[in-house]
Amino acid sequence: MTQQKAIRLGAEASAEMRFIEEEVALCYQCGTCSGACPVAAAGGMDYTPRAIMRMIQAGMEQEVLSSQTIWTCASCYACAVRCPRDIEITDVMTQLRNIALEKGYKARRGKVYNQGFMGIVRQHGRMWEPRLVVQYNLLTNPLNFLGLAPIGLKMIRKGKLRFLPDHPKGRSEIRGIFDGLEGGGE
C-alpha cells in the first residue's frame, strides 16, 4: 500500500482536490452511501463508496484514482441525499474522474466516452448520438458493432436515430466556452 499525500490538502492543491479533501474529512464511515448505491449492489464497483471515502482519508491516491468505482458511479445522487454528514459524494466521484484523467490514469473507456461526448458538443453545439456510438465502439471494441445492430435497426424503424447532426447558429459561441475555460481555467 502506497501512502502518498498527493490527494491531501497542501499548498499546491487544486480547487478540485481542496473540495474533495474538505468533503471527505467529514466522513465517519457509517456506510449509508454504500447501502444506498445501486451500482455497488449490482456488483459494479471494486470498492464501495464508503471504502473510497476512507481510502481518500488515508491518502491512497493511486488505488482511488485507478479504481473501477469512480468510473462506474452512475451519478444518481442516492448516496449524497442520504449521507448524514451531507457529503457531496457524487460530486467527489466526478472530480476524482477529472483528476484521474488529468493525471493520466489508465481509464480508456471512461476517457474515450467522456472526452468523445464533449468533443461532439464542442464541434456541433449539441449531442449527435450516432457519432458518439460509432466513435466510442470503434475506439474501444469494434466487435461490439455486431451486438449493436439489432438495437440500431430498432431505432431506425422507430425513427429514433438522427442521421445528421443539429446545427445551432451559435456554434462559434459554444466553441468559445470550451476554449475560454481550457485556457483560463484550472
Partner 1 sequence: MKYAYYPGCSQESTAEEYNHSLQAVARRLEGIDLVEIEDWNCCGATPAATVNPALPHALAARNLAIAEEMGMEMVTPCAACYKNIRKASHVLNDDPDLLARINATLDGHQLGVAPRVRHPLDVVVNTIGVDNVPVERPLHGFKVASYYGCLITRPEGGFDDPERPQSMDRLMEALGAEAVEWPYKTKCCGGAIYMTTEAISMRLSADVLAHAKAAGANAVAVGCPFCQLLLDLYQDKLEAIKGTSFDMPIFFFSQLMGLAMGLDRKDLGLEKLVVPPFELLAQTIDAPDGAPEKPKKKRAEKLKTWGEA
CB of 95 to partner 1, least distance (A): 6
Site string for partner 1, 102-141 (x = CB under 8 A): -------xx--xxx-xx--x---xxx-x--xx--x-----
Based on the shown chain and the rule CB under 8 A, indicate whether residue 101 belongs to the binding site for partner 1: yes
CA distances (Å), 130 to each of 37, 108, 119, 136, 165, in order?
Answer: 30, 20, 14, 10, 9
The residue among 18 and 30 lying less far from partner 1, judged by its C-beta, is 18
**Size of the chain in residues:** 186
**CA 51 – CA 72 distance, rounded (Å):** 15
Kindly identify the residues of this chain, within the stretch 35-94, that bind partner 1 according to CB under 8 A: 38-39, 42-44, 71-78, 80-81, 88, 90-91, 94
**Concatenated DSSP letters of 1-64:** -----TTS--TT--HHHHHHHHHHTT-----HHHHH-HHHHTT--SS-HHHHHHHHHTT-HHHH
End-to-end CA distance of the chain: 30
The residue among 10 and 168 lying less far from partner 1, judged by its C-beta, is 168
Instruction: Count residues near partner 1 (CB under 8 A).
Output: 64
Q: Within 13 Å of residue 91, how many CA atoms lie on the same side as its CB?
A: 15
Based on the shown chain and the rule CB under 8 A, indicate whether residue 158 belongs to the binding site for partner 1: yes
Residues in the site for partner 1, rule: CB under 8 A? 15-16, 38-39, 42-44, 71-78, 80-81, 88, 90-91, 94-95, 97-98, 101, 109-110, 113-115, 117-118, 121, 125-127, 129, 132-133, 136, 151, 154-155, 158-162, 166, 168-170, 172-174, 176-182, 184-185
